Amino acid sequence: MKMRLLPEDEYMHEVEEAESFNESMYFNVYDPDRGVGGFVRLGNRPNEGYAEMTTCLFLPGGRVGFMFARPEISSNEAFDAGGMRFDVIEPFKRLRARYAGPVVLLDDPLEMSDPRRAFTENPHVPCEIDLEFTGVSPMYGGEPVGDDGRPLLEAEKDAPFARGHYEQHMAGAGRIEVGDQSWAIDGFGLRDHSWGPRYWQSPWFYRWLTANFDRDFGFVVSVITSRDGSERIGGMILSDGRYDHIRQARIDTKWKGEQIVHDAIGVEVVTESGASYHIDGEVMSLIPLRN
């Protein structure tokens, strides 16, 4: 199986017949000097008549600003719905992500385990995000195709989740405003772009960890578990501007509290070059979300 990725894949794809056809982009960023970061995602589902819009901001002191909506759409011509817009400035190099709309401001993000109550009992404040992302890595992924160059549709028969999918480590800079507070952002993150039929419940579960430490070092660890217990391991280590693909990975989690939420993780990976990495992480902030 070959993977194809072309500059035109940065733009919108033709809508397919599958009712669950999805085309989505996702960006995350974190500025360690200001202690501010988060992610934005917009997923078009034109055959179902709506998009999925998510804004999630991790703020100083453990607060979280969050919003989710399903704005109506009638086409797949752009990523532009629910106050969120993504633009490709230069394929594979520069993109822009913007959002203007409300977020619910949570002093205790764990309250989102009861979404109705969280949205009712916490304040809603205006939010503006304007970030430009610049690639600091090669591209990872693409669309599986056969020798004739046509997409391999059979690749998604058992678990339609993201036939076309690619990722890239990024530098992100711009401004985030929440209520009467504003931060100039200068940090690092990751973006992805997916297209094809998507059922969120296709995998039994999956773990997807992304990290950036500076322009020259970061990683993605992906473990997708099917309902028969089989695993697909993926991801990469970014080092000095190059990707070393991961061929083995194990993620262990330490849990806490009555809600059984993440407290810490431990990761062991082996790359295609034979390098081994051990990664430890502690949870600084967490919001329980649903799809």
Residues 6+ apart with CB under 8 A from 124: 102, 103, 104, 105
What is the average pLDDT value for the chain, to the nearest integer?
A: 94
Model pLDDT, residue 170: 98
- Distance between CA 214 and CA 267 in Å, rounded? 20
Q: Where are the domains of the chain?
A: 2-200
- Distance between CA 115 and CA 56 in Å, rounded? 14
> Model pTM?
0.95
Model pLDDT, residue 158: 46
Model pLDDT, residue 148: 75
- Per-residue model confidence as pLDDT tens digits over 80-120: 999 999 999 999 999 999 999 999 999 999 999 999 999 99
Residues 6+ apart with CB under 8 A from 102: 67, 124, 125, 126, 127
With 50 as the cut, is the pLDDT of residue 51 above it?
yes
**Tokens matching residue 242:** 């190059």
- Per-residue model confidence as pLDDT tens digits over 246-281: 999 999 999 999 889 999 999 999 999 999 999 999
Residue whose entry in the numeric block shows the structure tokens 């934005």 = 40
Q: What architecture is domain 2-200?
A: Beta Barrel (2.40)
pLDDT band at 155 (very low <50, low <70, confident <90, very high): low
